[in-house]
């Protein structure tokens, strides 16, 4: 099985530095739709037998052209974006950035139970992402397209590498950045990391 895992396209919240998270169901902006189109044009010849997205529409819109081919589609809450709690829907400020950075340092030091006010912890995120990985292992499709979110992708790739969730800051991501992961002999092998070459033709 080969997994094609990508982050959703750009939203206006992305563009303006506003916190999204699982509680904000934003749509793609014009650039995001262009990114989705470029991804489709680059990868449309791959024989995907399954499309998996989060329950949030920005992932649906990113892979809409594949879904419209009547490929089986699963919406999975386990790969929703992390909840950023009280920060969701708000612009970044120096005070919020300090709280965020302090939480990241806690995660890196091994305290996976830290969170933003009323938000989700790294332990909670890793728990549902781990459950998603176990579900993937049961699938029989050869090519699966997965559309998810930045923080969730960081956690997913970290766990697929067999690393601790506290190290997930090391995983780069970009809007429609692609990871390709092969599952063979009960092991996940990363073949491509955060590939954005499909975006080179975009001028928006």
Number of H helices, E strands in the chain: 7, 6
What pLDDT was estimated at residue 203?
63
Lookup: tokens for 136: 């993937």
Q: What is the b/e burial string over 154-167, where b = at least 16 CB atoms within 10 angstroms of the residue's CB?
A: bbbbbbbbeeebbe
CA distance 189 to 169: 19
User: Phi, psi (5° rounding) for residue 73?
Assistant: -130, 125
Q: Which of 88, 103, 161, 87 is nearest to 129 (CA)?
A: 161
CATH topology of domain 2-199: Rossmann fold (3.40.50)
This prediction's pTM: 0.96
Residues in CB range of 196: below 8 A, 6 or more apart: 174, 176, 177, 178
* Residue 116, burial from CB neighbour count under 10 angstroms (0-12, 13-18, 19+): buried
Question: 80-105 pLDDT, tens per residue?
Answer: 999 999 999 999 899 999 999 999 99
State residue 201's pLDDT score.
Answer: 81
Integer Cα distance of 155 and 2 in angstroms: 18
Phi then psi for 123, rounded to 5 degrees?
Answer: -65, -40
Q: Which residues of the chain fall below pLDDT 50?
A: none
List the beta strands (DSSP E) in 8-164: 50-53, 73-75, 143-148
Question: What pLDDT does residue 202 have?
Answer: 82
Percent over 90 (pLDDT), the chain? 98
Residue written as token pair 């950045």: 177
Q: Per-domain residue ranges for the chain? A: 2-199
Specify burial of residue 94 (Cβ count, 10 A radius: 0-12, 13-18, 19+): exposed
């Amino acid at each position: 099985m080969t997994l094609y895992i990508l982050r959703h396209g750009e939203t206006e919240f992305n563009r303006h530095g506003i916190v999204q998270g699982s509680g904000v169901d934003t749509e793609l902006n014009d650039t995001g739709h262009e990114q989705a189109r470029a991804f489709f044009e680059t990868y449309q010849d791959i024989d995907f037998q399954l499309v998996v997205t989060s329950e949030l529409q920005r992932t649906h819109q990113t892979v809409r052209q594949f879904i419209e081919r009547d490929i089986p589609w699963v919406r999975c809450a386990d790969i929703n974006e992390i909840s950023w709690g009280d920060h969701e829907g708000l612009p970044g400020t120096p005070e919020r950035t300090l709280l965020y950075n302090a939480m990241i340092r806690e995660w890196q030091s091994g305290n996976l139970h830290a969170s933003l006010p009323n938000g989700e912890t790294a332990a909670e995120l890793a728990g549902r992402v781990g459950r998603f990985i176990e579900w993937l292992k049961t699938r029989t499709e050869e090519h699966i397209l997965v559309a998810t979110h930045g923080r969730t992708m960081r956690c997913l790739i970290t766990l697929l590498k067999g690393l601790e969730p506290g190290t997930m800051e090391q995983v780069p991501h970009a809007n429609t950045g692609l990871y390709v992961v092969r599952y063979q002999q009960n092991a996940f092998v990363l073949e491509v990391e955060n590939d954005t070459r499909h975006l080179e033709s975009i001028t928006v």
